[in-house]
Amino acid sequence: MQFIISHWAKGTSARCGVIKTHHSEIQTPVFMPIGTHGAVKTIDPEVLLHLHTQIILGNTYHLYLRPGHELINKAGSLHAFMNWEKSILTDSGGFQVFSLAQLNKISDEGVVFQSHLDGSRHFFTPELSMGIQRNLGADIIMAFDECPAAESDRASVEKAVERTTLWIQQCHNYLNNQAPLYDWEQTLFPIVQGSIYKQMRERSAEALIPYADCGMAIGGLAVGEEKESMFETVGQMNELLPQDQPRYLMGVGRPTDLVKSVSSGMDMFDCVLPTRNARNGQMFTSKGIINIENNRYKDDFGTLDLECNCYTCQNFSCAYLRHLFNIKEVLGMRLATIHNLTYYMTLMEKIRSTISAGDFIPWSKNYLGEMSVHKGM
């Protein structure tokens, strides 16, 4: 994998560039839609391509449980299984093990947990996470890490940092001793932990940088901490992480947070917000978030967003969209998802173009000012 920076925005740390994988070239900064189970909910790959989606995210924990990584390997990789021709990133499964599963025991060897599906017991180790991701065949794979909760005390965070450091060594050693399963490179991203403790973040970054060949991730944010603390940590990571490698800010996804994080040198983002909110009737627009189930849209035959050129806005009224949600028609969720993903992809395209043109600072100030009056943006 290669990362080439093409432009910097003077006065900020914002930059645009390209990540080159075997499957595609990814223009950065980039937003990655969530395809947890090997599908972006309600959206097929052809539509994703039409929306200019460059890379999607799959999840190791969920795909391990269903349908199983061995089956996906038999299909010829996750790319072949879901018919997605561009790049894929897979999370390590660590966050889901700690947040979704019934956690029984964690040790330096790994995590014993019960499946959230049927209560079956499993033992996740760094080596197993790497083995699953090798079988899935993602272009970018995440190291197994321990993500402490936002309310964790300093001692718990320190232990998580130590364990994450131990596990990256095991991930790295495992991969170095395995022959490739596919014809393409799978690039390992270490995940910096440390919650909002600056000393812990610095210690984690310093320990993990030697294992980063072409990219690092920042985990443990957007999990309930104050926004001010989150952005202080992002700023710290901008100072500590290698400038010549892509920085992946995990789980951060509100539109204004994306713009601010790009200003602090972040390159890659993922979040469930655009797709999950869409399925709940909440749409991101140039005028803020709209709840389409609100009664005010009952006889509104206008378009959802006059500034949007997506299929939904070009063809359907607010009244019709509200009707679809009221009758719980899956088409409503699909149309809403198309709109929200278009909003996010258009936002990222605007960020890249203004960086390239030297207009990022005035544009971002204007955008953040406009969105500051809209809750949730």
Catalytic residues, by residue number, are 91, 270
The dihedral through the CA atoms of 245, 251, 255, 261 has a sign that is negative
> CA dihedral in degrees (146, 1, 234, 12; nearest 10)?
180
Q: List the helix and strand counts (H, then E) for the chain.
A: 15, 17
User: What's the gap between Cα 188 and its chain centre?
Assistant: 15
First-to-last C-alpha distance (Å) of the chain: 33
* Structure tokens belonging to residue 35: 């395809």
Task: Of 109, 188, 204, 208, give the one whose Cα is nearest residue 148.
Answer: 204
- Confirm if 220 and 148 have CB atoms less than 8 A apart: yes
Bond into 29 cis (ω within 30)? yes
Q: What is the DSSP string of 284-320?
A: EETTEEEETTSGGGTT--S-S-TT--SHHHHH--HHH
276/81 Cα distance (integer angstroms): 23
